[in-house]
Amino acid sequence: MSRAISLQNVTKRYGRGAPAVDRLSLSVDPGEFLVLLGPSGCGKSTVLRMIAGLEEITDGELYLDGEYSNHLPPGGRGMAMVFQNFALYPSMTSRDNIGFPLRFEAPGEDHAPRVEATARLLGIADLLDRYPGQLSGGERQRVAMGRAISRRPSVFLMDEPLSNLDAKLRNHLRAEIAQLTRELGVTTVYVTHDQSEAMSLGDRVAVMRGGILQQVSKPREAYGLPENVFVAAFIGTPRINLLQAVVHAPLEGRMSIDLGRQRLALPEPLSPDHQLLRIQQGRRLIVGLRSEAVRIAVPSQARPGEVPISGIVEHVEFQGHEALVHLNTGSQPALVPDLESPRPQPAPRRRQSQGGSVLSRLRERTHVSGPVVVLDEPEAPGITPDRPALSSGDLVVRTGPDLRLRTGAQVPLLVDLAHLYVFDHYGRRICPTPNELPGFEI
């Protein structure tokens, strides 16, 4: 039986510091495979441990099948957890490790049939009499998963179970986990920092940063319609190209996006997404271009919606089935510190006459949410910048493996404006049009 999980405005604090998880609201449907994705320290494992009951919820509510469950002990939640470090007892055989939780749930019963059925399901029936020290990493992880499966839980909680394995074995076990969870139909919450795992496993992906939920959507939507610049940059290999830009919208003539030394002329008639850029006239923005949105070709080969620019080859990465070309287009990359999206403004607190240090009160008074992207001031004409010229390029483009390019050569490029992303200076997506339009600051 699968369970529904609902977190409502859940917060977790350790001491007086910033919350590890801040006002997170998230629902998981019965039988759904949800992946919590984010960089190390973003709070995803803390969320998993709060669902399991291993961490106490500071604020907010947890509901299991619609029932308030903050007070339930871990053993009363009907969940099984698979850890990153396997957590097997070294003095027990695989048979004993898999059957260990059953001895507490139903003491005195014969658990051998269930243990053997679980081992056959995972393909480790011939390893039941071996100890963990006699097993490879992949075999130990299968035993750890068998221990969780044998309990027949209503929820699987997996905390980066594949991160300690080599790449080839990770790919193999990833496919096994996907098939296994589909067959069992058990609600699964899976934590990882590997976006490849998240995109291939999850029915939905919940992206976190700094304890804050950034976006929850299907993998395809997270890649194609990122809600902010952090999600856009975190999901996708190679990373999306982020360039500083300014929109020019003259009363007469074509609207364009200025990238510094080159411009992207928007074709007329303007699409609905590009029409909204008109009100961004003169504002500093971030343009996002994935590597597949740009191709090396001469202007005469342009398709509808493609506009020409050019770039100088800085470096070519041969990947076997493709090549990644690093180009310098004269644009200024948008720097995203730690790839962070803006934190929500905390509720104002009353000043207390006693309690708390002077330094902590000053920090509370000066805490404001600032822009996510560091945009350097434009250089005045004729002034040489202090920083050195870019050596790794500002644009990465995918090409076929047979294309021969010489370092330092200038090549023509075609940009597909149908795959153009535009973010404001706070990192919020404004093109393609978001579902909820942000307020426009004056």
Q: Is the pLDDT of residue 381 over 80?
A: no
Q: Hey, do 5-225 and 234-343+390-431 end up sharing a CATH topology, with the first three levels equal?
A: no
* Cis peptide bond upstream of 272, omega within 30: no
* pLDDT given at position 364: 41
Q: 4, 339, 341: which is closest to 189 by C-alpha?
A: 4
* pLDDT given at position 180: 86
Specify the amino acid at residue 371: P
232-244 mean pLDDT: 93
Is residue 128 a contact partner of residue 115, using CB atoms and an 8 Å limit? yes
Confidence of residue 390 (pLDDT cuts 50, 70, 90): very low
CATH topology classification for 5-225: Rossmann fold (3.40.50)
Pairing assessment for the beta strands 420-423 and 5-12 based on DSSP bridges: unpaired
121-133 mean pLDDT: 91
* pLDDT given at position 417: 93
Is residue 257 a contact partner of residue 297, using CB atoms and an 8 Å limit? no
* pLDDT given at position 105: 80
Q: How far apart are CA 148 and CA 159, in angstroms?
A: 13
Contacts of 122 (CB under 8 A, 6+ apart): 142, 145, 146, 149, 176, 180
* pLDDT given at position 383: 31
* Cis peptide bond upstream of 434, omega within 30: no
Q: How far apart are CA 286 and CA 334, in angstroms?
A: 7
Q: What is the pLDDT of residues 248-301, one digit of tens each?
A: 988 888 899 999 999 999 988 888 888 888 888 888 999 999 999 999 999 999
Is residue 118 a contact partner of residue 101, using CB atoms and an 8 Å limit? no
Q: What is the pLDDT of residues 16-49, one digit of tens each?
A: 888 999 999 999 999 999 999 999 889 999 999 9
Q: What is the pLDDT of residues 298-348, one digit of tens each?
A: 999 999 999 999 999 999 999 889 999 999 999 999 876 655 444 444 444
376-401 mean pLDDT: 58
Confidence of residue 349 (pLDDT cuts 50, 70, 90): very low
**378 against 115, higher pLDDT:** 115
Structure tokens at 431: 């093109």
The residues spanned by each domain of the chain are 5-225, 234-343+390-431
In terms of average pLDDT, the best of 287-301, 360-374, 393-407 is: 287-301
Check whether domain 234-343+390-431 has CATH 2.40.50.140, yes or no: yes
Q: 156, 92, 146: which is closest to 124 by C-alpha?
A: 146
Q: Is the pLDDT of residue 354 over 50?
A: no
Is residue 417 a contact partner of residue 305, using CB atoms and an 8 Å limit? yes
Q: What is the pLDDT of residues 175-204, one digit of tens each?
A: 888 888 888 889 999 999 999 899 999 999
Q: Is the pLDDT of residue 12 over 70?
A: yes
Is residue 331 a contact partner of residue 259, using CB atoms and an 8 Å limit? yes
* pLDDT given at position 30: 95
Q: How far apart are CA 296 and CA 241, in angstroms?
A: 16
Q: How far apart are CA 228 and CA 369, in angstroms?
A: 15
Q: Is the pLDDT of residue 375 over 60?
A: no
pTM for the full predicted model = 0.81
* pLDDT given at position 378: 39
Report percent pLDDT > 90 for the chain.
53
Of 99-103, 292-296, 410-414, give the lowest mean pLDDT range: 99-103
Confidence of residue 235 (pLDDT cuts 50, 70, 90): very high
List b or e across 326-351, with b for residues whose CB sees 16 or more CB atoms inside 10 angstroms: bbbbbbbbbebeebbbbbeeeeeeee
